[in-house]
Structure 1
């Protein structure tokens, strides 16, 4: 239906339910497949025409051939440089995207657990009194949030994990009150 409307100049019958479109090559192959004398004659004509050299073609002189080769080489070099420039731009863009992604990725649950564990080790190492321990937990968590500019230790960027763990290990409470 759509093909018929788009190709009105072909005068396709409105009652045609199937339409077969042939390429020239397909028609020749089909003729050969028919295996009749006429089909083989047509196939011979096709083969003869295919291998016949066109007499109108004038061979290039040595200088013309050289100019053609040089132009082609220059085009290839230009295209290669354009491709290299495009690759450079793509790499640069990819690098920027990777940096942005690295800045956005936060700790996994296992890494969050490692931070919690390190905080607990530090607090229990400093104080045995449970009342003071709870104050130390709050203080250390507050300092981690302030130092790494996060709302929660869960929001720590993955790339900062090692720095956070080192900070916790070297942390000293301000004043136990």
Structure 2
């Protein structure tokens, strides 16, 4: 793994390339995340904060030797971008970044020409307070995001596909349990009749699923309810097979 934090103009910073590499994201997506946050800072009247903590610069691609944009970020800017990365693996990476920033700050501090004892103590006290405030702010934002994930975020495309396949599997299982005596069409039409029964079962499963979780589409099921929805589908029993 590349070095997570480095010194730039006397400050401990990381950059968008490092974040993309560590969190296994496309660099273009990280740049987009940063640009969105800068835009929100401008809208909130915090443009100066954005300028101080996000520095747009360039890097040269090692293969084609072309120059591309990237951003250097302070610890505060990193916290703002990384707060939305909430997987368990991402949380581990964020802790690593926090330790790296602390170590780099200590390295910078050790290279500073000593001041008188009173000023040194005041500066260390100030840094400790600022660090605690940043941690409190980051922890609060992480809690807010976790709450949003639990109560507002719906299924992504992969999870929708999982739920849809579960419905299809259950519908086909039940359709296969229908005996030939329940089929009203002649032998040549049996295949068509089974397909009609499957389609009816799919519709009924979806309808009951929507009613059970209070949504108008399986895509609106909350992420936190996915396991419950899968269990409901796998145990679903039709009221009547026409």
Q: Structure 2-normalised TM-score?
A: 0.38
Q: Larger radius of gyration, structure 1 or 2?
A: 1
Q: Relative contact order: is structure 1 or structure 2 higher (C-alpha 8 Å, sep ≥ 6)?
A: 1
Q: Structure 1-normalised TM-score?
A: 0.49
Q: Whose helix proportion is higher, 1 or 2?
A: 1
